[in-house]
Amino acid sequence: MNPAKSVTKPSDVCQVRCFNEELVHQIGQVLPGDDLLESAQVLFGALADRSRLKILYALRNDEELCVCDVASLLNIKVATASHHLRKLRDLSILKYRNDGKLAYYSLKDPRVADILCYALRQLVE
């Protein structure tokens, strides 16, 4: 028998159902609801792409950009910019308006920019 194989490793799984029931109960009382967490999940999922982060940052000061302007800014194809903008619009993060053949996008809720800018500031400090 190989001695190295017979050594048991400590388990990283608890062997009891709940150790600190009072603390678990207290934390459970203040956990956000599923609807709010789902909204946060959608927002953070949208922020999980570098191009979309750049778009949101560009729109942070109540700016409004055309699809072709976003493509130029990010140095990507118009179709790619359109895809990212549509994704953000579908997630209710951006709003858009048509002006002839041009489609302009802006932030639907400025708090998204606040969250992004706050996160970026924290990473710099």
Residue linked to tokens 């998204």: 112
Q: How far is the C-alpha of 5 from the C-alpha of 7, rounded, in Å?
A: 6
The number of CA neighbours under 13 Å toward the Cβ of 121 is 6
Has residue 1 got a pLDDT over 60?
A: no
Q: How far is the C-alpha of 34 from the C-alpha of 4, rounded, in Å?
A: 46
One-letter amino acid of 37: L
Residue 115: C-alpha distances to residues 22, 27, 35, 95 (Å): 33, 24, 19, 18
Q: Determine whether 112 is exposed, middle or buried from the number of CB atoms within 10 Å of its CB (0-12, 13-18, 19+).
A: buried
Q: What pLDDT is attached to residue 20?
A: 84
Q: What pLDDT is attached to residue 125?
A: 82
Query: pLDDT tens digits, residue range 31-56?
Result: 999 999 998 898 898 889 999 999 99
- In 3D, which of 87, 58, 88, 53 has the Cα closest to residue 70? 58
The CATH code of domain 49-123 reads 1.10.10.10
Sequence spans of domains, the chain: 49-123
Query: pLDDT tens digits, residue range 98-122?
Result: 999 999 999 999 899 999 999 999 9
Model confidence, pTM: 0.77
